[in-house]
């Protein structure tokens, strides 16, 4: 036993020096490699890139340019001054402003290096002459009328008589039928209600960078308006295909009345604003994007060309008068997630024969389906608790109402005055029986 132990110890002692030798050899090898790499790094011939100017020379001062090697080494050299005799000054002739284009006063600069000694001052576009304005502060004014201007193409300038134009007031150009085109300079921040109401000759309008607020009634009754353009620097609005959107494309703001045919609302849109498609007589078909949540007040008012509408289930809010006066609208699919049918929302839809209201609807507001003369049948969800005054007023052919609830629940609904005036002797079919117009219940 002692002999084996001694042999093992001797073997271990002999192996130890070998391990030390190997370790030392590895360390020496690594050190040599590092020394070689360092030598290459510091002693290699530099490979420089292209010269880059880091300071432009002028007529009286030298410049500098630099180039780099891949190792990080930089080489800098001096660029001679352009002219040992100094600057060569020249006058740059200014130019007058026009109605639509800015001008510039004379300036002085060096012909060789471009250094400016006398800066030119901007002469702002003169715009249309004779516009009526109101002073609103020591430095600003707003346009309140056409005044003595007779231009078919109206250019609202940045300044009038030294006052900055910051707004176009409500009714400012209302019923100015001689206007055909409008451009608004960048200083204008807001356009008021009915500002261009009834401008029946207006075909296009261009909005400047500064516009941040437009009343939804600004362009009502502009029956020939086909294009709305927004300057690229505007951070609140943008134009896509001549249609006005919020800059983030989530809100559809205004659809020009004279854009006929079909239109597909982009998937980015969440809100269809108030009166967006108001009086768009030529609109024949509308596809409402799957992400739309809200349809505003009078959004499709008087769109006589529409015959069919699908309101996707993403919509939860249907504003008053949303589809009022869509006289040829015959087929409507209503979102299953709407809780209120807005007042007058389908009033005067003379071609509508039937409609289905989901269980999530709680209120059918005032005159929602009034004057739907050929509405014959309607399905009402069991969630309805209130049918407001005039809701089905003048629905002359309404004979069948299907209610997804019991007869007792139907009779518990809060009915407004004249909610069913001028309707025939209809029957309400409930889940456990029927109720006649005069309130008589017949159980299954």
Write down the residue that tokens 């309400």 correspond to: 428
Rg (CA), the chain: 39
Cα angle 104, 107, 111; round to 5: 130
Kindly report, residue by residue over 114-142, the tens digit of the pLDDT: 889 999 999 999 999 999 999 999 999 99
In this chain, the answer to whether the domains covering 135-245 and 260-444 adopt an identical fold is yes
CATH code for the domain defined by 260-444: 3.80.10.10
pTM recorded for the entire structure:
0.80
* Spatial separation of the C-alpha atoms in residues 70 and 28, rounded to whole Å: 29
* Spatial separation of the C-alpha atoms in residues 239 and 241, rounded to whole Å: 6
* Spatial separation of the C-alpha atoms in residues 279 and 325, rounded to whole Å: 9
* Spatial separation of the C-alpha atoms in residues 360 and 76, rounded to whole Å: 76
User: Residue 92 region, left (φ>0) first, then alpha (ψ -120 to 50), else beta?
Assistant: beta
Kindly report, residue by residue over 185-212, the tens digit of the pLDDT: 999 999 999 999 999 999 999 999 999 9
Write down the residue that tokens 């290459």 correspond to: 40
Note down pLDDT in tens along the chain; length 444 residues: 444 444 444 544 555 555 566 666 666 666 666 565 555 555 667 788 888 998 888 888 888 999 998 778 888 999 888 877 788 889 999 999 999 999 999 999 988 888 899 999 999 999 999 999 999 999 999 999 999 999 999 999 999 999 999 999 999 999 999 999 999 999 999 999 999 999 999 999 999 999 999 999 999 999 999 999 999 999 999 999 999 999 999 999 999 999 999 999 999 999 999 999 999 999 999 999 999 999 999 999 999 999 999 999 999 999 999 999 999 999 999 999 999 999 999 999 999 999 999 999 999 999 999 999 999 999 999 999 999 999 999 999 999 999 999 999 999 999 999 999 999 999 999 999 999 999 898 988
**What is the domain class of 135-245 according to CATH?**
alpha beta
Burial of 60 (0-12, 13-18, 19+ CB in 10 A): middle
**Would you kindly state where each structural domain of the chain is located, as residue ranges?**
59-123, 135-245, 260-444
Strands (E), 81-207: 89-92, 103-104, 107-110, 116-118, 122-123, 132-135, 140-145, 153-156, 159-160, 163-168, 181-184, 190-191, 204-207
* Spatial separation of the C-alpha atoms in residues 349 and 373, rounded to whole Å: 8
């Amino acid at each position: 036993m002692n002999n084996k132990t001694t042999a093992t110890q001797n073997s271990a002692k002999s192996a130890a020096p070998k391990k030390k030798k190997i370790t030392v050899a590895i360390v020496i090898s690594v050190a040599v490699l590092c020394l070689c790499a360092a030598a290459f790094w510091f002693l290699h011939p530099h490979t420089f890139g292209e010269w880059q100017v880091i300071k432009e020379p002028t007529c009286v001062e030298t410049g500098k340019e630099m180039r780099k090697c891949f190792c990080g080494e930089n080489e800098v050299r001096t660029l001679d001054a352009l002219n040992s005799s100094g600057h060569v000054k020249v006058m740059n002739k200014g130019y007058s402003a026009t109605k639509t284009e800015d001008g510039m006063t004379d300036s002085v600069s060096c012909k060789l290096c471009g250094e400016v000694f006398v800066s030119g001052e901007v002469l702002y576009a003169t715009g249309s002459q004779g516009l009526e304005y109101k002073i609103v502060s020591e430095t600003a004014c707003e346009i309140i009328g056409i005044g003595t201007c007779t231009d078919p193409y109206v250019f609202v300038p940045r300044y009038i008589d030294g006052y900055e134009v910051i707004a176009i007031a409500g009714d400012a150009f209302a019923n100015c039928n001689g206007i055909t085109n409008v451009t608004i300079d960048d200083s204008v921040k807001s356009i008021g209600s009915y500002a261009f109401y009834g401008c029946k000759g207006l075909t296009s309008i261009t909005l400047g960078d500064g516009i941040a607020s437009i009343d939804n009634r600004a362009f009502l009754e502009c029956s020939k308006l086909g294009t709305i353009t927004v300057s690229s620097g505007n951070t609140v609005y943008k134009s896509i295909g001549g249609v006005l959107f919020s800059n983030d494309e989530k809100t559809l703001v205004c659809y020009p009345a004279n854009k006929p045919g079909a239109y597909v609302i982009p998937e980015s849109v969440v809100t269809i604003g108030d009166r967006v498609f108001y009086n768009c007589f030529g609109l024949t078909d509308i596809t409402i994007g799957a992400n739309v949540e809200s349809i505003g007040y009078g959004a499709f008012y008087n769109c006589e060309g529409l015959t069919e509408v699908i309101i996707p289930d993403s919509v939860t809010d249907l504003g008053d008068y949303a589809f009022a006066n869509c006289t040829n609208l015959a087929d409507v699919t209503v979102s299953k997630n709407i809780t209120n049918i807005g007042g007058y929302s389908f009033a005067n839809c003379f071609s509508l024969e039937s409609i289905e209201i989901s269980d999530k609807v709680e209120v059918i507001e005032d005159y929602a389906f009034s004057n739907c003369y050929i509405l014959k049948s309607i399905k009402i969800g069991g969630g309805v608790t209130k049918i407001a005054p005039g809701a089905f007023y003048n629905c002359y052919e309404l004979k069948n109402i299907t209610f997804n609830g019991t007869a007792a629940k139907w009779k518990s609904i809060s009915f407004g005055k004249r909610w069913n005036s001028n309707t025939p002797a209809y029957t309400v079919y409930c889940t456990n029986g029927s109720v006649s117009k005069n309130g008589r219940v017949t159980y299954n």
